[in-house]
Amino acid sequence: MADDKLVAVKVADIGNQLPNHVSPSQLSSFDRCSLAYWFSSVAGWREPAGLPQIIGTLVHDVLENFLKIKAENRTKEAAWNMLRDTGEVVINNNKSWLTEEDLVTLKDKSAESLKGYFDLEDPTQLEIDLEDLERPVTAIFESVKLYGRLDRMTRDGVVRITDYKTSKRPAPQYLTDSLRQVMLYAAGLKENGLEVGEVELIYLPGRDRVRRPTYKSALDRAVQHLVTTRRKMDSSLTKQTWMANPGSPCKSCAFVKACPAKTAKAPIPGTKESEDLLQTLNLEKRVRSKSSNATSGMEMLPFGEEAQ
């Protein structure tokens, strides 16, 4: 975020609602707009998934389940059957708002991602342990808890973390954030005694693969970013002031009408007026887990297991 564009927004005191852990996706969310992070991860308002998220989740689910089957059975036919079956469920779950055009986009883009996958690798040759699919990663750095799930890890001579992307490969300057996320997983695993040799981003529709070796300064930078970001979150919470980033993040933000940086008469976030407004926008609030202040394991997740 460029600091000159940021707008400080005061929020009401809603208590200490900061999640006990930080996931790589939360870091990105905070970096994009910390006020949107506050609405979502602190106040607990659920952002409805848009079409790109739904396509991403569908493709990730299909690839996860596809790689769980025996290597010799990982045929294109099996993958397309899974895409059809899982896609039907996804469409049914979202039929209230998906338009005809959305359906075409969903089918085309998910199929294109799967085709890209088969162009990039031969899944019958891929050796993978089931525990390395959607593997949880937990570590504590300077009393900041990292928790997230990586897409997959392989161990074919080199231990490699892979992250699938259903978008196009971004310009080089925007790769940093995605690489830092996988480097953070590598740092978390290293903390648990497992050395990761490489990280990999696979941009499925464009058939693009980005691989980087892990090295100390990259892991240190990822950890430093985790720790400094958490300190900024703590400071924002204490000051009850969060930085809004009015600009491109607003295009896909569910909180525009309740955001004082974008909507002049929006009430102070966290007040009853703001909560009522968000409810009239049909947004839902997550139920906070009773064990959100526990000190270990999955119990530290604030709203159930939604971290990515």
Summarize as ranges the residues that interact with ligand SF4 (CB under 6 A).
33, 35-36, 244-246, 249-250, 253, 255-256, 259, 261-262
CB-count exposure of residue 298 (10 Å: 0-12, 13-18, 19+): middle
User: Of the two residues 226 and 253, which places its CB atom closer to ligand SF4 in the complex?
Assistant: 253
Question: Rounded to a whole number, what is the distance in angstroms from the first to the last CA of the chain?
Answer: 21
The least CB distance from residue 264 to ligand SF4, in Å, is 12
The least CB distance from residue 256 to ligand SF4, in Å, is 4
Task: Compute the CA torsion angle 88, 178, 199, 49 (nearest 10 deg).
Answer: -20
User: Of the two residues 50 and 213, which places its CB atom closer to ligand SF4 in the complex?
Assistant: 50
- How many residues are there in the chain? 308
Beta bridge partners of 146: 22, 139
The least CB distance from residue 246 to ligand SF4, in Å, is 4
User: Of the two residues 7 and 159, which places its CB atom closer to ligand SF4 in the complex?
Assistant: 7
User: Of the two residues 199 and 259, which places its CB atom closer to ligand SF4 in the complex?
Assistant: 259
Helix H or strand E segment including 165: strand 159-165
Nearest 5°: CA angle at 225, between 222 and 226? 90
The least CB distance from residue 138 to ligand SF4, in Å, is 29
d(C-alpha 36, C-alpha 234), whole Å: 16
User: Of the two residues 107 and 262, which places its CB atom closer to ligand SF4 in the complex?
Assistant: 262
Alpha helices for the chain (secondary structure H) = 24-32, 34-37, 51-66, 76-93, 100-120, 172-191, 216-239, 272-280
The least CB distance from residue 261 to ligand SF4, in Å, is 4
